[in-house]
Structure 1
Amino acid sequence: MTHPTHQLPAYAAGHLTGAAAAAVTAHLAGCPACATQARAWHATATAVHDTTARVAPPSPGILTAIRRRLATTPGTTPGLATTRPVPTYRRDIGTRPLHRALGILTRQRTLIRWPVWTLAAALIAGGAILAALAPTRHAAQILAMTVPLAAALAVAGACGTDNDPPAELAAALPTPPRVVLLARLTLVLTATVTAGLLATLALTALTPGGGAAGLVTAWFGPLVPLSATSFALSVLYRPSAGVTTALALWLARALSTGQTAPTGLSPAVLRLVDPLWTPGPAVLTAAAAVVATTFLLSPRLPRSRHARHIWR
């Protein structure tokens, strides 16, 4: 026997007519369980009808006031609270390649969260101060430990976009996801490298005898593979993976730098970490290949529903 359970609410409310109502009536005559449910639905419909009948309909003045309020510019009517207006449309970014590139870079700057810039600036400034206070022979090591770490963490925070509202907005725009990702990576690395160069020049001016070229080479070499690793893990998996890996590689390098006694690190770990801080052509080529592969795979991989953004 098929019970018309899904039809009982409409039957009790009087919305069933004709053959459908007759079929339900015939079924209720021989099914006590469905008849009990029908009486319950009928009591509910009666209570709802009686309650709504006692409520007076809203006056037309309410709708008029709502329309007037929606049409009023915020802050121009006395007595009304001033609301924050929606940002105005600035104009199209243009069709010329250079103008479009500059426009996309400018807009990405406002979408990257402020902790990313703050952390990167603090690490680079702190490294420059420590390098200035330390003996001249240790300046290159200090910058090589701080500037690449700042770049790797900034890349993870800016390019890892799980559950990021600006990323949802960017995905709805006609700009391809790869272009947005390239713009973010370019912007973050350009800002980090520029800050590293400024810190190096300031350090060279304060400490005579130190070569700027040697200092730049010391930190720019490890910046490339460390940022590439952080970028790939942050985009293809989640930002926390990129941050954790960068910190682990940095810690392994910090423990092995300048140590003559055993540090507890296995030789395999040292063989993996040391080439990252003194990269040759093979390591730099591999880093470029990792970045290119990440760009190719990034729009195709589904996002994790449970991933959390590291900077939120």
Structure 2
Amino acid sequence: MNKTSYKLRFYYILILAVLIINMLSGCNTTTNSSNEISEQAESENDTFDKGTVYTMLVTNSNSNEALKEKFTIPVDNLEQPFKSTFENVGKDREFVMTVFYDYEQIEFSVDDTKNFSDKYVFSLKDNEEASFNFYLDPTIKTDGKSHKLLVNFIAGYDVYAKDIGTFDNSYGINTLYDIYYTSYNNDLDNDNEYINMENIQTSQTIFHDFISLPLALNTDYDNQQQEDSMIAYPENPMIVEPNENVELMYNISNESYDSAAFITMLGYQQINMDEKSYFYIPLSKYDNSVYNGSFSFKAPSKKGFYEVIGMVIFDPDKTASESNQFNGQYSLRFTLQVK
């Protein structure tokens, strides 16, 4: 059976299963990203895109089947394009693409325009696929180390969470790749030095024997509800003044990982949390606990609505083959209103 037939058959089976589950339980489904056919990642989306399935793949001219299975991309130079393929099945929708390099958002250029931006917005109809080349910011650091490339597609760019009426973490798909530069080393398995994680956070409160979502942004500032294994979610919208110092709490649930990287986006742009672009959080492996901490950021000066989206990547300082982690997990999405 060829890949196209397998892929279509997989879609029909998945969509049928989702419909059966919904009829039997009446419950919302949650995001599920996996590597079902080695080089692809799937996500079933409910509240923002009920019954929608996404697939994505990022490669370049050096990619082969073995490298795809390892989520690894050798890069000759920054003039070499990456190829992105993204497919939308189930509903017409507007998307925004963002790219992170070593967990920091970077600019990129789509096709040969050389117009670099930190996001790319596009629309797809049901059963439609977008395939395009993109180039990384030519000023990023290249060296003999292995680096992380996180490519992220979020649905509902034209929709605010405040208008949905409920919190949701099923609104997109992303995939994490190991990249290395062939001018320094032609073999990733040849003991490439890995990136050094910075912004280490060690001041969390740990709640044992309590597992919730992988990442939950919340407003339980005194941890009163945490003691009862509950979470206080923000108002939606959360209303603030221009340039106000906004404080949030975060919960990161850990079952089997050594560490986590935590990113927050506001209006699809990465923000500094306590003046840091991301948090790197050491975890106790297999401790079945929630790591709880706080952070603050400055609200925009411009009045309007901004989507708040967090993302946690487990074992961020390991290769995909070592960690078996190929994507980040989203927080529940909500809207910040600068009024």
Normalised by the length of structure 2, the TM-score is 0.27
Q: Which structure has the highest strand share of the two?
A: 2
Larger radius of gyration: 1
